[in-house]
Structure 1
Amino acid sequence: MACGVAQLEAGLLNFERFRDSSTPRLVYGYGQRSLHELREHEFSRLAGTVYLDHAGATVFPQSQLTSFTDDLLKNVYGNPHSQNISSKLTLDTVDQVRYRVLAHFHTSPDDYSVIFTSGSTAALKLVAEAFPWEPQSPENTGSRFCYLTDNHTSVVGMREVTRAMKVTSIPVRPEDLQLVETRGAAAHGSDGQALHLFCYPAQSNFSGTRYPLCWIEGIKSGRMCPVDAPGKWFVLLDAASYVSTSPLDLSVHQADFVSVSFYKIFGFPTGLGALLVNNHVAPLLRKSYFGGGTAAGYLAGEDFYVPRQSVAERFEDGTISFLDVIALKHGFDALDRLTGGMENIKQHTFTLAKYTYAALSSLQYPNGAPVVRIYSDSEFCSPDIQGPVINFNVLDEQGDIIGYSQVDKMASLYNIQVRTGCFCNTGACQRHLGISDEMVKKHLQAGHICGDNVDLIDGQPTGSVRISFGYMSTLEDAQAFLRFIITTRLCSSRGQSFPQTLAGEAAAPSAEHSALNVPTVTDVCSLLPQEDTLMESGVWNGFSTTTNVVELCPPVSEVNRRQQTSSEEVLAGGHGAHIVTNLYLYPVKSCAAFEVTRWPVGNQGLLYDRSWMVVNHNGICLSQKQEPRLCLIQPFIDLQQRIMVLKAKGMEPIEVPLEENSEQAQICQSKVCADRVNTYDCGEKISRWLSELFGRECHLIKQSSNFQRNAKKKHGKDQSPGTTATLSLVNEAQYLLLNRSSVLELQQQLNVSDENGKEELFPMSDLISRFRANIVTNGTKAFEEEKWDSISVGSLHFQVLGPCHRCQMICIDQQTGQRNQDVFQKLSESRKRKVNFGVYLMHTSLDLSSPCFLSVGSQVLPVLKEHAECHHLPTSEKQQDVIS
């Protein structure tokens, strides 16, 4: 039963009532200027998108970029190390920005110095390298580097520097530090003893917990002590996450070192951060390297070097990114003008976070089980102890965690952008999710690494989902996210189409699109060349001229009879032989299928399958995730004329040669599934055709014929001795096989919600096209293909590598380019932990001394695994979706 609007709204809290009942009353917005106006004028590019990853990077306003660009167009900024007028302008402007940075943090050059870095990570690394560590020796215990376990990777990584200096690193859990505070601190030693450093985040980038800034003074004064170590303690405050939505007053909380990243605050420029150094500590810092601009004088032939006087000049090696520094001025201007300051941002973002937290916490399944598990150290009662970050995992009705990758993919179908994983904070991830050190090592051995999509191993989560708000976030953003959770977890969405098409989409109606349907059996048969043509074109090398001519196409009536018979067996649940019912290749990656009944096999798979791909102006591969209209481009290969014809509605057909002109081809580097591949551009004519179709610059490129891309061993399968599997522009494997019985089961689940019981909401052909398989077979039962170890089709032998883990592309109707989330959601519900559908195949051996073909109607002989499970392989396998 579909979830109605009233039921959706019932799952949301009344915002006005919620805000008015809170004590103190929550603040939403920025006074007289409406958030609607702010979004419309400054962030119009967010229209239709719910962006909830502001802790990762916030979004810059239009006026900031306009103002900065206008500045650059009106002024000439030279290298600040020169002495000319333009350089002097740069130097003075950069110094002015330094003052502005310090003023933003309520301090002045009298107390702090600003060292510009490439980001917060570089600032932390600078402290690790420059702090006056005293190595451990027989005479003394030396310095200590102590850090909170709830710290960013970049902080924990400092211990590698200290280890090289023979300095002990000590992790401290948040709860242990608080216990030390309550029972009293260990006594500090006198001056002259070892200098120690303690680092903690002002705000956890994992949970949004805001740790007390009073710890700074407590540790520096000796009232608190992270560990019992005589000496003097200094404090490094990682403020990157905190200052993105909250003011930091360094006149009150005088940390010795403060690291920040400016894109967290302004969204632009990226790659620029700073280390704020308390001037009392600056003379202690050591430097083992000097670069351009940092030396007052030095000798090239003698070990003689005198550093510059100021802290910034000593530590800013080389020429700083001065134009980016100048851009900060416009960032501060825009932020103050649009919001009135950081305190307003702090209140506004906390209001949205508290509202969303309260609503999420109240969601329950009919059996009373919670819908989400939130990882937090607070009840969101105050912005002083909680930032605008909510970290959670989604649960099913039995209380089992749904993998974060699956949630991320579902969210993207609703144009909601979240962050998933462990967020470069393994310590907090372990603490909140209950992951032991042994489990982390086990997960790594199973193939899981930071930042991948392996979200569950043996049913246990490896990470979570994080949403975070920025100063331009709105109540509508929060409620859109809540509706997404309610719709996908508490309501049945079957039968409801996604109300909006993808950005930039101009899909043609299916009736009008019928002219672009794949060629029929008779169309394909007439195009297949005889053996001599294949030999001349270089499809196979080393063919004997005495090779018998093979009939390339069975009679059309025979093919149709086989397809009809196999379909009847599937529908009747028959247990006959497995038969190939359909063959598809996808000459252009992410474009429409080219259906054939008999087709040559090459060493990379079906001949010309994913040999081309469309790239943007930067040479980045486009898929249907970014450009769904790619599925409306219909490729048609004529092997006799050695051309590919591309068709699209409203465009004249265009021809592309199957092989490159080696003398004219311009080789370029491209990337597919993290692999570098050699490609060549197919020319300006096809580029203009694609650019006109999509309304932006595009190019068609083809994998170079003399380039070999070897398949990676990702599926725990060894290749046959003496063979190396090679790939075209596919993501993972040479072939993808689909079982009609599996499709039929999914179809029945999707169509069950049809009120009239007559209309077929998802026809079989529609579903098959969404999964973009190469080989489609009939089957005896659903998902039996996941029990196969290998298969034979005629003389061809294939190894089954494992299931294909699906992404959002299966939600795109391949006939119209429109999107409907029901397919992914239903598959997610029925397959549970992983959205697997179809299996990967790879040649085990291939003899190309004679023509090889795959044909519709061929018998498929599977070999079962010895100890196979029915529906699931180990979830630690990292397998990407081959559809593209």
Structure 2
Amino acid sequence: MAGEAAGPGAEPLAFPQCWDPSAPRLARGYGQRSLRELRESEFGRLAETIYLDHAGATLFPQSQLTNFTKDLMENVYGNPHSQSISSKLTHDTVEQVRYRVLAHFHTTPEDYSMVFTSGSTAALKLVAEAFPWVSRGPENSKSQFCYLTDNHTSVVGMRKVAEAMDITSTAVSPEDMRAAEERGAVACDPDCQLPHLFCYPAQSNFSGTRYPLSWIEQVKSGRLGPVDVPGKWFVLLDAASYVSTSPLDLSAHQADFVPISFYKIFGFPTGLGALLINNRVAPLLRKSYFGGGTAAAYLAGEDFYVSRPSVAERFEDGTISYLDVIALKHGFDALERLTGGMENIAQHTFTLARYTYATLSSLRYSNGAPVVQIYSDSEFSSPEVQGPIINFNVLDDSGNIIGYSEVDKMASLYNIHLRTGCFCNTGACQRHLGISNEMVKKYFEAGHVCGDNIDLVDGQPTGSVRISFGYMSTFEDAQAFLRFIIATRLGSPGDQHVPQASTEEARTPSAEGKVQDMLTAAGRDCISLQKGMDSGVWNNSSSTMNTMSLCPTLSKTTNTQQTPTEEAAGILPGDLGPHSVTNLYLYPIKSCAAFEVTRWPVGNQGLLYDRSWMVVNHNGICLSQKQEPRLCLIQPFINLQQRIMVIKAKGMEPIEVPLEEDNERIQICQSRVCTDRVNTYDCGEKISSWLSKFLGRPCHLIKQSSNLQRNAKKKQGKDQPVGITATLSLVNEAQYLLINTSSILELHQHLNTSDENGKEELFPMKDLISRFRANIIMSGTKAFEEEKWDEVSIGPLHFQVMGPCHRCQMICINQQTGQLNQDVFQKLSESRTRKVKFGVYLMHTSLDSSSPCFLSVGSQVVPVLKENAGHHD
């Protein structure tokens, strides 16, 4: 594999060496416009965001959207299938865009037809269904479907259509194709016209490898055979990834089928693609379905149908997304105006990728071990062999892979947007990461599915990390990413590790300051942590709405002699036993501040009213602290006697919300929590206005309705007792979360070792406990012993331990200030051997509904160890 790190002590590649001397003006931008001007005028929404997922979807410029909206406001566009003036305008505009698309790919309607689809996936499906497969006769008289293993899922999925037609499918590796290319000509029967189809990507969406466009003509002419069978080969070139940053000349490389997705090029519109079909192939295509607009004539009561003559009219079933097609016109205008064309984009994005690749591959730990492992088939020597994509995994100083999920979470703390996983390209993922077919099946059996965050199974990676550049990407973006890797792996974002751009733009103080500020802003936050906890979460005695006054009947019956405010975030004295409950918290409003109690009723979904409410945005999407850190400053208090929840926040008048609404007056609405559908109801305009004012954005408070119960998902390998169905509130995973103070103390020691002067405790215990947002805090004898438990009894209640809680970026948010500090996540990752988990989930295995149940501070915790519990890492 390419991308091995340079030897110990090697100097990073100097910036000028990365630069193509043939295009020095790109250092300043495109033409007379600098990249800074481009970013400020067209992509101001990026601000301090480092967006590095252009292979997933690039970003649209503001002027494209502005001009498109202006076009729609000034013109009337009707259905192109009608005959009115507005419909004729639509039809003519759509046809003009067709010409524009073909011209973009250096071809004409005489050579290619273009069919609009919902995207490249739909275009691929169209080819699979319409290709003139021959399936009758002996095996050597049937069509063959071949595809490169380094293909997107949507190409591999074509084999299911082929299978239904009794067509043999064959996966061909890049090595096999290169070996066949070296061997030269293959035996070919010029009289055999048996049609076969070969599919390969112009650019791997996994690694950015660019495969030779010369393969098109070699395969079609019979000089290069994916498999040795007689017949006529047709070539499908998957260009979706390639054309996002590079020109494609179809006059020179005449593939038979070329699927594309326009959002990869322009960012907008989404849900629109096209299939470019070589006109020499078009008459061979078959169609089994016809929709509106495709018929020249048909009968409803008799099998009579005549299709329209043109290829587009034959295959565009129904009314195309004509307004989105019109948006393409403004996309082409903006792209050409801002960049001067795809050639400039190709050079600019490749230069950024080569610079980043060279620097990234040179990074080493003090022991000489590489910081990353890069998955590439090239040394980024030219745009002909490599696109602006870098795929890698981060390593520790012993060479072990750090899971991509942890890298992704850390990157988000630096506001860096990248992509992780296998990128819908299992073949390339297997090849580069050395994952066998048996391992893929094993991973699936272990619970891993495409797109989840299970990044390691038995220490082996299930995927990787990918960054990719777009035409609006800058050197500051690349350097910010490199400094993030250095800061999190080598301990310092020092400039000595990152070669600086030799351009006037990159040398300006404001440009360098922007990158440095981005890396150090969160670091400064930890210095300003408040010593006192004044939000009322921990020191309820400072509030007139404390637990004792709200729930006098409950507080009188508590079985602990300790005042709930005296040791709110500490460990209770040892006379309560080695395992006992020290603190109880519920979180009435999801992602808002905790409400501490000493004794509290238990319901079927957990602590009564725990996560019964949540704040949603104007689209009804649940807000969390990851999007809105100020949620932690909203403090709810529940008064069971008065049946109200009082909500407080600094600078706001307290507001009351009833615990229950009159079911006859509320209107049920649908919401989602962790992909689950839940019934909720809106708590009214008064609280909506209160929240919107405090958060500075339109939002609503909604409450879970009792009309639809949400059942817990069964975990892999965890069988719930027969007849027991655990129900959930608006929590993510389980009814309860338990953490151990001994575990917190270990993390506390790791975090505060960086305070060399000993003058300031950067992360007090109270601060750490609140970050993990647990329901039950217990005293324990050993750190992380709770992860070895299978079951646990707390007082009269019995629970099943559902496994560890895998942590996200929210633990980096100070729950008293809303400030962010990345060190918590990073130190936890380092101390837990790169597995960022903390605390365990609990579920009821039985609950006696005949009498009230309570959880209390001071209750004894009695664990049951897992069978054959081994040493915990």
Is the TM-score greater than 0.5?
A: yes
Equivalent in the alignment of 2:412 = 412
Q: Deviations over 1:107-148 (max 9, x none)?
A: 111111110000000000000000000004238521011100
Letter in 2 for 1:520: N
Equivalent in the alignment of 1:740 = 741
Find out whether 1:119 has 2:124 as its counterpart.
no
Q: Deviations over 1:60-110 (max 9, x none)?
A: 000000000000000010000000000000000000000000000001111
Q: Deviations over 1:202-243 (max 9, x none)?
A: 000000000000111111111111111111111100000000
| Distance 1:151-1:589 versus aligned 2 partners, 3 A rule | same
Distance 2:461 2:694 in 1: 43
**TM-score, normalising length from structure 1?**
0.91
Find out whether 1:765 has 2:766 as its counterpart.
yes
Question: Does the 8 Å contact 1:371/1:396 carry over to 2?
Answer: yes
1:558 Cα deviation from its structure 2 partner: 6.0
Letter in 1 for 2:204: S
1:526 match: secondary structure = helix
Distance 2:468 2:617 in 1: 30
Equivalent in the alignment of 1:718 = 719
Where does 1:658-807 land on structure 2 (aligned, <5 Å)?
658-807=659-808
Find out whether 1:520 has 2:543 as its counterpart.
no
Question: Does the 8 Å contact 1:12/1:479 carry over to 2?
Answer: no
Distance 2:625 2:570 in 1: 34
Question: Does the 8 Å contact 2:587/2:611 carry over to 1?
Answer: yes
Letter in 2 for 1:762: F
1:793 Cα deviation from its structure 2 partner: 1.2
Question: Does the 8 Å contact 2:484/2:519 carry over to 1?
Answer: no
Question: Does the 8 Å contact 1:136/1:143 carry over to 2?
Answer: no
1:764 Cα deviation from its structure 2 partner: 0.4
Equivalent in the alignment of 1:657 = 658
1:722 Cα deviation from its structure 2 partner: 2.1
Distance 1:559 1:501 in 2: 33
Letter in 2 for 1:704: S
Distance 1:24 1:765 in 2: 56
1:196 match: secondary structure = strand
| Distance 1:686-1:498 versus aligned 2 partners, 3 A rule | farther
Q: Deviations over 1:602-651 (max 9, x none)?
A: 11100000000011111111101111111010001010110111111111
1:832 Cα deviation from its structure 2 partner: 1.3
**TM-score, normalising length from structure 2?**
0.93
Distance 2:567 2:104 in 1: 75
Question: Does the 8 Å contact 1:791/1:863 carry over to 2?
Answer: yes
Letter in 1 for 2:456: L
1:697 Cα deviation from its structure 2 partner: 1.3
Equivalent in the alignment of 1:878 = none
Structure 1 unaligned runs (5+)? Answer: 1-8, 532-549, 873-884
1:15 Cα deviation from its structure 2 partner: 2.4
| Distance 1:566-1:143 versus aligned 2 partners, 3 A rule | same
Equivalent in the alignment of 2:34 = 34
| Distance 1:579-1:224 versus aligned 2 partners, 3 A rule | same
Distance 1:586 1:119 in 2: 43
Question: Does the 8 Å contact 2:246/2:342 carry over to 1?
Answer: yes
Where does 1:267-666 land on structure 2 (aligned, <5 Å)?
267-491=267-491, 499-500=520-521, 510=530, 514-518=534-538, 520=540, 523-528=546-551, 530=553, 551-554=556-559, 557=562, 566-567=571-572, 569=574, 576-666=577-667
Distance 1:456 1:99 in 2: 48
Equivalent in the alignment of 1:100 = 100
Structure 2 unaligned runs (5+)? Answer: 1-8, 495-516
1:845 match: secondary structure = coil
| Distance 1:560-1:701 versus aligned 2 partners, 3 A rule | closer
Task: Give the superposed CA RMSD.
Answer: 2.4
Distance 2:856 2:710 in 1: 26
1:555 Cα deviation from its structure 2 partner: 6.7
Letter in 2 for 1:553: T
1:451 Cα deviation from its structure 2 partner: 0.4
1:523 Cα deviation from its structure 2 partner: 2.2
1:13 Cα deviation from its structure 2 partner: 4.9
Equivalent in the alignment of 2:154 = 154
Distance 1:838 1:524 in 2: 25
Distance 1:308 1:703 in 2: 53
1:772 match: secondary structure = coil
1:386 match: secondary structure = coil
Distance 1:560 1:237 in 2: 68
Question: Does the 8 Å contact 1:589/1:610 carry over to 2?
Answer: yes
Distance 1:32 1:553 in 2: 74
Question: Does the 8 Å contact 1:519/1:595 carry over to 2?
Answer: no
Question: Does the 8 Å contact 2:751/2:763 carry over to 1?
Answer: yes
Question: Does the 8 Å contact 2:420/2:463 carry over to 1?
Answer: yes
Distance 2:493 2:723 in 1: 50
| Distance 1:727-1:515 versus aligned 2 partners, 3 A rule | closer
1:520 Cα deviation from its structure 2 partner: 2.2
1:30 Cα deviation from its structure 2 partner: 1.6
| Distance 1:31-1:685 versus aligned 2 partners, 3 A rule | same
1:511 Cα deviation from its structure 2 partner: 7.8
Distance 1:66 1:501 in 2: 35
Question: Does the 8 Å contact 1:419/1:466 carry over to 2?
Answer: yes
Equivalent in the alignment of 1:199 = 199
Q: Deviations over 1:176-208 (max 9, x none)?
A: 011112112322223453101100000000000
| Distance 1:244-1:587 versus aligned 2 partners, 3 A rule | same
1:871 Cα deviation from its structure 2 partner: 3.1
| Distance 1:760-1:325 versus aligned 2 partners, 3 A rule | same
Find out whether 1:860 has 2:865 as its counterpart.
no
Q: Deviations over 1:230-264 (max 9, x none)?
A: 11111100000000000000010000110000000
1:352 match: secondary structure = helix
Q: Deviations over 1:762-814 (max 9, x none)?
A: 00000000000000011111111111111111110111111111000000010
2:33 match: secondary structure = coil
Moved more, 747-756 or 237-246: 747-756
Letter in 2 for 1:287: K
Question: Does the 8 Å contact 2:539/2:565 carry over to 1?
Answer: no
Distance 2:722 2:248 in 1: 63
Letter in 1 for 2:558: C
Moved more, 191-200 or 314-323: 191-200
Letter in 1 for 2:705: S
| Distance 1:251-1:212 versus aligned 2 partners, 3 A rule | same
Equivalent in the alignment of 1:173 = 173
Equivalent in the alignment of 1:810 = 811
Identity of aligned residues (%): 76
Equivalent in the alignment of 1:535 = none
2:398 match: secondary structure = coil
1:753 Cα deviation from its structure 2 partner: 1.1
1:514 match: secondary structure = coil
2:175 match: secondary structure = helix
Distance 1:513 1:123 in 2: 58
1:493 Cα deviation from its structure 2 partner: 8.7
Distance 2:564 2:830 in 1: 36
Distance 2:687 2:665 in 1: 15
2:638 match: secondary structure = strand
1:564 Cα deviation from its structure 2 partner: 9.8
1:621 match: secondary structure = coil
Distance 1:767 1:388 in 2: 41
1:265 match: secondary structure = helix
